[in-house]
């Protein structure tokens, strides 16, 4: 009897210990609500890139609390190894397309090094977000395919940021886009939007990640139609059997190849540049607009580093209407926060009061101050473009010369112009019937180049009167003229042109970059008079850097 009692007591104690361990394990994996993570106090810091670590350690969102102790991924020093340990998709490495992509990546170690260098500030945050959502960690490699992890990547279809959102899809997923700020480049907001979109696509295609990835690239309707077509024809509906755009047929294999390259890097003879498995940045609430040069100085980092963490800001300051936070390197975030609390409002932004003069309009004033009409109306609470002489406008101005803000949108565009075509800046005034292909052919530049210079895509409709930027070398060989910036037509000499068979005023005007009205005025031509071969016309001789013009 005594032995029986002893056994019963032993069993009860064992069951009690098991229950305690189970409860502790459940508590350790209980997710925190967003309210515990976010704070709204000025200068407060939040390690948004370490949410999963806090979740797994069951601690409050306090930047002073170490997040590396109980994280299930803390055993990895290198975040690439953390990803490799949790890969879950079939990489289809026997497929010809995947093999081809694998061979390309394996030959380009320097490209992988550049990608790793760019991914360093963002990768920890993205991996944590994927883990929190129980999504495949292969998706952390998707920005390599999309943008090579370049936060300022911009495509011909106007896709932007590391996740390459086009404007319409960005708006559908809550990414604001205005003169000051482009949420498609916001690391936190765009990552959240991209993962929301991918989750939606995965659900739509019944958990098939290859279909979801294809839809992320070419659109869910396109993939759905391809699946329906194959079903109707009695064909397989797996990704490899679908009729999809060429870009998409390369896109998905590229991601699978990268995943296999990471999984078997030694077999493929490549190295993944180490990225420490720890938070890179903290999110610091700043409450209101601040000059980015001031913020960088307070954080003790370069302005380029600040823009790299906060690439969504288009200008020299954060957006007046928010978001009112900055991502700051974690090791200096507390120091930045302390300095921010002591910063007077008057030192956040430099303001200038402009007294409106007679004849001025909002567009002219906006250009003079490197701003835009919408921004001036918003800041000065104007309901229309109407302004009155003697009244004043409050205008934010940068503390340092604009050239100092090297990664602002304007500076990046200017740099790309200089890189892509040396020479002088000319303006081309679009005329009726012009296309990018025509203009590019005349000036010896590609449609892609013209599009990049002027934020257009290859299919943009050109409206007569629109001015296009061209950067042309002195020895450009062409006979069509561009108008130099700051050109004054009245100061140019007049030359004579002999009308040829088939000429019309419109063709001649287009050839010499003038207008039909100017030709008629200069030559006293009646609207009803026709041109005839041999007729002499006076034409203003526009100077240009193009030989033969």
* Catalytic residue list: 146
Structure tokens at 120: 């360093």
Structure tokens at 355: 């007294």
SS3 236: coil
Question: What are the helix (H) ranges across 40-132?
Answer: 51-57, 79-84, 96-107, 109-119, 123-132
Largest CA distance in the chain: 131
Q: For residues 396 and 326, give the distance between their C-alpha atoms in angstroms, rounded to a whole number.
A: 19
Contact yes or no for 426/454 (Cβ under 8 A): no
Contact yes or no for 506/514 (Cβ under 8 A): no
Q: Would you list the DSSP string of 202-253?
A: HHHTTT-HHHHHHHHHH-HHHHHHHHHHHHHTT---SGGGS---HHHHHHHH
Contact yes or no for 373/395 (Cβ under 8 A): no
Structure tokens at 359: 């004849």
Q: How many CA atoms, within 13 angstroms, populate the side-chain half-sphere of residue 366?
A: 16
SS3 409: helix
Q: For residues 162 and 29, give the distance between their C-alpha atoms in angstroms, rounded to a whole number.
A: 30
Structure tokens at 519: 């030709």
Q: For residues 210 and 223, give the distance between their C-alpha atoms in angstroms, rounded to a whole number.
A: 10
Structure tokens at 411: 């500076």
Burial category of 209 from C-beta neighbours within 10 Å (exposed 0-12, middle 13-18, buried 19 and up): buried
Q: For residues 118 and 260, give the distance between their C-alpha atoms in angstroms, rounded to a whole number.
A: 21
The DSSP symbol for 329 reads: E
The DSSP symbol for 416 reads: H
Q: How many CA atoms, within 13 angstroms, populate the side-chain half-sphere of residue 12?
A: 6
């Amino acid at each position: 009897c005594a032995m029986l009692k002893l056994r019963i007591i032993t069993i009860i104690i064992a069951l009690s210990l098991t229950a305690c361990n189970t409860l502790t394990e459940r508590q350790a994996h209980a997710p925190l609500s967003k309210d515990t993570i976010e704070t709204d106090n000025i200068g407060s810091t939040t390690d948004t890139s370490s949410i999963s670590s806090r979740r797994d350690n069951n601690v409050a969102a306090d930047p002073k609390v170490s997040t590396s102790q109980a994280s299930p991924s803390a055993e990895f020093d290198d975040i690439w190894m953390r990803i490799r340990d949790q890969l879950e998709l079939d990489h289809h490495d026997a497929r010809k397309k995947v093999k081809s992509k694998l061979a390309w990546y394996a030959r380009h170690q320097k490209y992988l090094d550049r990608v790793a260098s760019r991914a360093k500030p963002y990768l920890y945050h993205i991996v944590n977000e994927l883990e929190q959502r129980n999504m495949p960690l292969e998706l952390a490699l998707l920005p390599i395919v999309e943008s090579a992890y370049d936060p300022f990547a911009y495509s011909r279809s106007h896709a932007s940021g590391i996740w390459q959102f086009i404007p319409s899809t960005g708006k559908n997923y809550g990414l604001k886009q205005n003169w000051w700020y482009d949420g498609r480049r916001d690391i936190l907001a765009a990552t959240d939007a991209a993962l929301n979109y991918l989750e939606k696509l995965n659900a739509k295609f019944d958990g098939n990640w290859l279909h979801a990835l294809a839809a992320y690239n070419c659109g869910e309707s396109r993939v759905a139609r391809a699946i329906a077509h194959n079903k109707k024809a009695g064909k397989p509906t797996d990704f490899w059997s679908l009729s999809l755009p060429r870009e998409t047929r390369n896109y998905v294999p590229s991601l699978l190849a990268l995943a296999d390259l990471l999984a078997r890097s030694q077999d493929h003879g490549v190295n993944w540049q180490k990225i420490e498995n720890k938070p890179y940045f903290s999110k610091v609430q700043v409450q209101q607009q601040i000059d980015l040069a001031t913020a960088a100085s307070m954080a003790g980092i370069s302005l380029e580093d600040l823009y790299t963490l906060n690439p969504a800001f288009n200008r020299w300051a954060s957006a007046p209407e928010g978001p009112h936070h900055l991502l700051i390197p974690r090791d200096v975030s507390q120091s930045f926060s302390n300095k921010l609390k002591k910063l007077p409002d008057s030192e956040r932004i430099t303001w200038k009061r402009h007294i409106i003069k007679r004849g001025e309009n909002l567009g002219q004033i906006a250009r003079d101050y490197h701003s835009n009409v919408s921004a001036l109306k918003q800041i000065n609470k104007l309901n229309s473009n109407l302004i009155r002489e003697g009244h004043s406008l409050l205008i934010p101005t940068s503390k340092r010369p604009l050239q100092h803000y090297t990664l602002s949108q304007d500076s990046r565009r200017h740099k790309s112009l200089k890189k892509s075509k040396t020479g002088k800046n000319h303006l081309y005034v679009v005329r009726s019937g012009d296309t990018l292909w025509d203009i590019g052919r005349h000036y010896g530049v590609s449609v892609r180049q013209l599009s990049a210079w002027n934020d257009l895509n290859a299919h943009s409709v050109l409206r007569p009167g629109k001015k296009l930027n061209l950067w042309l070398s002195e020895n450009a060989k062409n006979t069509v003229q561009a108008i130099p910036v700051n050109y004054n037509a009245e100061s140019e000499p007049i030359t004579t042109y002999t009308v040829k068979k088939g000429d019309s005023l419109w063709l001649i005007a287009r050839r010499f970059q003038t207008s039909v009205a100017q030709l008629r005025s200069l030559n006293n031509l009646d609207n009803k008079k026709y041109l005839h071969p041999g007729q002499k016309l006076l034409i203003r001789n526009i100077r240009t850097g193009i030989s033969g013009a």
